[in-house]
Amino acid sequence: MYYRSMAIYFMSGIGNSFRAATWMMEIANKRDISSKLHQISRYYKKSDFAGESNDLLGMVFPTHGFTAPWRVIRYALRLPNGRGKHAFVVATRAGTRIASIPFPGLEGTAGYLIALILILKGYIVRGVMGIDMPSNWMSLHWGLNLQTPSLSLIELR
């Protein structure tokens, strides 16, 4: 399928999901797909979507407590009807290394919950995935830094 335009709606705490969204934009630009990023805001207005007519919609956000953050769920619920528009969902999650063994994050229901909402709204979901990024789950562990021997930042390409 050839897409001409794409809109990505993202939420990001420390920038991981924003970074992932910009990677997708870079790939889209190389393929001549014009793309726009929109931050998922607390105060959503129906007029935010007025005049938006993209071929492809993306939702990119962090996993919180093995599911999608409430702000993202609420935003997805308020999206206009998809009418068959294609969509994809990406949840970033906490990838770590413990004793140099890489461990993937656990996105749980994060991606599929948003995908389900999009399907119910009439979107055709073409893909759902989790991406390992550095963890910011500070209530679970100490802060990550490159000096920490047992738990270090995952290598980003």
> Which residues would be at the binding site for ligand FMN (CB under 6 A)?
12-17, 62-66, 92-94, 105-108, 133, 135-137
Least separation in angstroms between residue 50's CB and ligand FMN is: 27
Residue whose structure tokens are 């790939």: 27
Residue 144 CB, nearest approach to ligand FMN (Å): 9
For ligand FMN, give the closer residue by CB, 18 or 123. Answer: 18
- Residue closer to ligand FMN (CB basis): 118 or 144: 144
What is the nearest approach in angstroms of ligand FMN to the Cβ of residue 88? 17
**Which residue in 14, 22, 76 sits closest to 44, CA to CA?**
76
Separation between Cα atoms, residue 10 and residue 41, nearest integer Å: 9
Could you give the CA distance from residue 133 to residue 138 in angstroms, rounded to a whole number?
14
* Closest distance to ligand FMN from the beta carbon of 53 (Å): 27
116/153 with CB nearer ligand FMN: 153
Residue 68 burial (10 A CB sphere; 0-12, 13-18, 19+): buried
Name the β-bridge partners of 7: 36, 57
Q: Is 122 helix (H, G, I), strand (E, B) or coil?
A: coil
Closest to ligand FMN by CB, 86 or 128: 128
Q: Tell me the residue nearest to ligand FMN as measured from the CB.
A: 105
- Determine the distance from the C-alpha atom of residue 140 to the mean position of all C-alpha atoms in its chain, rounded to a whole number: 21
- For residue 61, count other CB atoms closer than 10 A to its CB: 30
Least distance CB 75 / ligand FMN (angstroms): 15
Query: 35 vs 63, which CB is nearer to ligand FMN?
Result: 63
